[in-house]
């Protein structure tokens, strides 16, 4: 949606010039000629920013009317970015406006490039601020419900967030891809919360935890007497999710012989309980997730291509934690609150050195590993401040920065060698990926591998 700007100026030619300039930039504007009209529009409509003159008919030199309008706008909407304009180039008036809450100021006659740069900068800041407030509000609700919040502040998560917002309102099936422990289940729950089905149930199923012998009963239900131990009717997971969302985690683990049965339900939107011939029509949105390379599974004959097509109407790739380090601080703060409540340890906080150690580690176990480290640190910390030693005691590589000179060069070399070996294993021997993971150049990594006798 294009941004909307409220413009207030008593000169018709100024309003017309601004309309034409902003229209060419894809910015919609509502133009008014008096402070009273500006306030009336803001009371009834929503704007992303305001651009107001400081001088009107009552007083054309002092800027008093504009400052009064600025104060009234801020009172109606404290988050609205307001850029002020003045034809007099008075530094004093500009300073007063900034002190009163103006985001920036423009001198008349204005330079088009500067005006657009100022407005675009304020629009971006306002958009970012609204997004953070929305996520904070949602995360507060989640903390109250005991659910893990969806944290997506890192630049690498913005394409994920944008795709999530576009896809969530639809009923399209979504396949979430990512390494183990990246939080695919958290993403699936956020997708459900932002969907039109959010008031309905979301049912989660670990496909790797269902034995082939009970697959149909678990997923589609059964009737009494359908098999030896079927002493009563049972509703399956699909029926439980009717009208809502069904999350199929670890979808690559579904047994090959059960895949055609799942495909039929996805294609027809109907099923029969085991032991019954009555057809049940369903309205279920399916979200699935896996860390497997499904095209490779299809090529190997372990996963049906037509089932993949039914599942991946939209694919969302969730980055590993090492590619979203900017989210670590927010994740840690949330984990400290949740684990602090669980273990009756309030007001816990992380020391700067501990946070630096967590942000420096490459997290092969992703968010799940981070959660384990923080949970143990909450238990092990002697006071309310969690130090680096508290987090380093869980993951040996985190302890490397804490090694002192008195420990000797041998220990440092052993730590570096172990870290390189682990990174090589994680990247399946890919030198380029390993170098990126460790923050080294390829040449520097090769020199260290040669030094420690690490062959590919």
Residue 405 banded pLDDT, cuts 50, 70, 90: very low
Element (H, E) at 368: helix 366-380
Q: Report the interhelical angle of 184-193 vs 158-167 (nearest 10°).
A: 40
Task: Report the candidate in 207, 235, 206 with the shortest Cα–Cα distance to residue 221.
Answer: 235
How many other CB atoms are there within 10 angstroms of residue 185's CB atom?
16
Q: Is 107 helix (H, G, I), strand (E, B) or coil?
A: strand
Q: Is the pLDDT of residue 402 over 70?
A: no
CB 234 within 8 A of CB 217: yes
- pLDDT averaged over every residue in the chain: 84
Q: Which of 31-35, 180-184, 185-189, 230-234 has the lowest mean pLDDT?
A: 230-234
Please tell me the least confidently modeled range out of 228-242, 257-271, 411-425: 411-425
* pLDDT class of 407 with cuts at 50, 70, 90: very low
Question: Rounded distance, CA 318 to CA 252, Å?
Answer: 17
Q: d(Cα 391, Cα 355) in Å, to the nearest integer?
A: 9
Per-residue pLDDT at 328 exceeds 90: yes
Kindly indicate the confidence band of residue 280, based on its pLDDT and cuts at 50, 70 and 90: confident
Percent of the chain at pLDDT exceeding 70? 87
Does residue 393 have a pLDDT over 50? yes
The phi, psi pair for 4, rounded to 5°, reads -120, 135
Lowest mean pLDDT among 89-93, 233-237, 275-279, 377-381: 89-93
Q: Which of 371, 295, 358, 299 is nearest to 325 (CA)?
A: 358
- Which pLDDT band, with edges at 50, 70 and 90, does 175 fall under? very high
The domain 322-402: what is its CATH number? 1.10.8.60
Does the pLDDT value for residue 230 go beyond 80?
no
Q: What is the CA radius of gyration of the chain?
A: 29
Averaged pLDDT, 346-357: 87
**Alpha helix stretches (DSSP H) within 194-286:** 215-220, 237-240, 259-268
**What's the predicted TM-score (pTM) here?**
0.60
Q: What is the pLDDT of residues 48-87, one digit of tens each?
A: 899 999 888 766 567 788 899 999 998 888 788 999 988 7
Q: How confident is the model at residue 384 (pLDDT cuts 50, 70, 90)?
A: confident
pLDDT at position 139 over 80 = no
Fold of the CATH domain 155-317: Rossmann fold (3.40.50)
Task: Provide the CATH number for the domain formed by 4-126 in this structure.
Answer: 3.40.50.2300
In this predicted model, what pLDDT tens digit does every residue of 97-137 receive, in sequence order?
888 888 888 888 888 999 999 999 898 887 777 666 555 55
Give residue 453's pLDDT band: very low, low, confident or very high (50, 70, 90): confident
């Amino acid at each position: 949606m294009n941004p909307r700007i409220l413009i207030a100026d008593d000169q018709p030619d100024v309003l017309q010039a601004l309309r034409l300039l902003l229209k060419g930039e894809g910015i919609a504007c509502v133009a008014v000629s008096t402070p009273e009209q500006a306030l009336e529009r803001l009371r009834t409509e929503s704007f992303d920013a305001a651009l107001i003159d400081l001088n009107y008919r009552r007083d054309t030199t002092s800027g008093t009317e504009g400052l009064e309008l600025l104060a009234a706008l801020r009172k109606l909407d404290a988050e609205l970015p307001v850029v002020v304009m003045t034809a007099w180039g008075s530094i004093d008036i500009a300073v007063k406006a900034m002190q009163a809450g103006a985001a920036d100021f423009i001198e008349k006659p204005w330079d088009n490039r500067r005006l657009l740069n100022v407005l675009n900068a304020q629009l971006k800041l306002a958009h970012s601020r609204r997004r953070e407030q929305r996520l904070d509000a949602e995360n507060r609700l989640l903390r109250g419900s005991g659910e893990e919040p969806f944290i997506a502040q890192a630049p690498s998560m913005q394409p994920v967030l944008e795709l999530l917002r576009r896809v969530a309102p639809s009923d399209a099936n979504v396949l979430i891809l990512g390494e183990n422990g990246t939080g695919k289940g958290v993403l699936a729950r956020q997708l459900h919360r932002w969907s039109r089905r959010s008031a309905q149930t979301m049912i989660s199923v670990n496909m790797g935890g269902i034995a082939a012998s009970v697959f149909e009963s678990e997923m589609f239900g059964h009737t009494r007497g359908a098999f030896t131990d079927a002493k009563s009717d049972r509703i399956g997971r699909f029926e439980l999710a009717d009208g809502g969302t069904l999350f199929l985690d670890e979808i690559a683990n579904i047994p090959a012989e059960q895949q055609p049965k799942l495909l039929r339900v996805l294609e027809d939107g109907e099923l029969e309980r085991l032991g019954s011939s009555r057809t049940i029509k369903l309205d279920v949105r399916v979200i699935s997730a896996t860390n497997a390379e499904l095209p490779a599974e299809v090529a190997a004959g372990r996963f049906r291509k037509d089932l993949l097509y039914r599942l991946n109407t939209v694919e969302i790739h969730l980055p590993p934690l090492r590619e979203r380090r900017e989210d670590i601080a927010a994740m840690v703060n949330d984990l400290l609150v949740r684990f602090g409540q669980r273990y009756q340890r309030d007001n816990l906080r992380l020391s700067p050195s501990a946070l630096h150690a967590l942000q420096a580690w490459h997290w092969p176990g992703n968010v799940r590993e981070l959660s384990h480290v923080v949970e143990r640190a909450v238990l092990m910390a002697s006071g309310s401040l969690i130090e680096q030693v508290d987090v380093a005691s869980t993951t040996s590589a985190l302890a490397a920065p804490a090694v002192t000179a008195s420990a000797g060069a041998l220990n440092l070399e052993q730590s570096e060698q172990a870290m390189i070996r682990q990174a090589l294993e994680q990247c399946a021997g890919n030198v380029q990926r390993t170098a990126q993971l460790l923050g080294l150049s390829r040449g520097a990594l090769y020199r260290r591998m040669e030094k420690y006798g690490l062959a590919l």
